[in-house]
Amino acid sequence: MSQVLPATISPELFAQRADAIADAARELAAAGWTPATSSNFSMRIDDDHAAITISGRDKGRLGRDDIMLIDMQGQAVGTSARPSAETDLHTQIYRRWPEMNVVLHTHSRTQSVASRLFAHEGVVTLAGWELQKAIAGQTTHDSELAIPVFPNTQHMPELVAQVDAWLDSGRPLHAYLINGHGIYTWGRDMAETRRHLEALEFLLGCEMDLRSHSV
Ligand SMILES: [Zn+2]
C-alpha cells in the first residue's frame, strides 16, 4: 500500500511519526492491551493532517507501512488504505485542541471491565490516588479526576456527539471510556500520552480492587 504525501508534508516527518506510532503500538500490544487487531493510534502531522493506523492490522507487528495519512475530516489522503473505523474520534480531539498531538486508544482487560462496571454511573471518579498527578494539569491527589463512560455504538457520530456534549458542559476531559470497549486518551507528545494511558490503566485497576474490597 503506497502512501503519496502532499508537497507540504516532508517524507522525513511522516516517517518519524509513523515509526513513533508503530513503536508505541508494538509495546502496547506486548502488554496485552490491543487484543485481536483492536485499538488505534494517531499523531498529528500539521493543522490539517494526522497519521493513523490502517484498519485491521495486527498491532503487535506494526511497521511504518501500516500507518496512513488522513485529513482532519477523517478522509484518507494519498492512499487507498482504509483508516481505523474510529478515526472520527481522533480527528475530533485534534480539532478541539490544537495543542494535542497524540491520541492512543486501547482495549485492555482492565479498561474493558472498568467500562462495564462503571457504565451505570456514566463516570469513574478517581480521588485520593497519588498517580492522578501523572495526568497533565493534575497537581494533587486531593483533586477529583472524572473519566466519563460513554455508551458503545458502531455509529461514530453518536460517540462524537457524546464527547462534544461533555466538553460543551465545561467539564475537564483527559480521557474517556466506552462501555464494553476501551479507553481514549491524548496528550501533547507521545511520552505524555503514554504516561496518561499507563496511569489510567493502573488507576482503573486500583479503583476496581478498592470497590471489590468495600462493602
Ligand atoms: Zn476501539
pTM: 0.95
CB 80 within 8 A of CB 96: no
Please give the backbone phi and psi of residue 93, each rounded to the nearest 5 degrees, phi first.
-65, -45
pLDDT in tens, 88-125: 999 999 999 999 999 999 999 999 999 999 999 999 99
On whether 155 is known to bind a ligand per the annotation, the reply is no
pLDDT in tens, 178-199: 999 999 999 999 999 999 999 9
pLDDT in tens, 134-170: 998 888 787 899 999 999 999 999 999 999 999 999 9
Q: What is the CA(140)–ligand 1 centre distance, in A?
A: 31
pLDDT score, position 196:
97
Give the pLDDT mean for 194-208.
97
Q: What is the CA(186)–ligand 1 centre distance, in A?
A: 15
Cell 457524546 belongs to 162
Q: What is the CA(75)–ligand 1 centre distance, in A?
A: 18
pLDDT in tens, 2-51: 899 999 999 999 999 999 999 999 999 999 999 888 889 999 999 999 99
Please give the backbone phi and psi of residue 123, each rounded to the nearest 5 degrees, phi first.
-160, 150
Cell, residue 97:
485542541
On whether 107 is known to bind a ligand per the annotation, the reply is yes
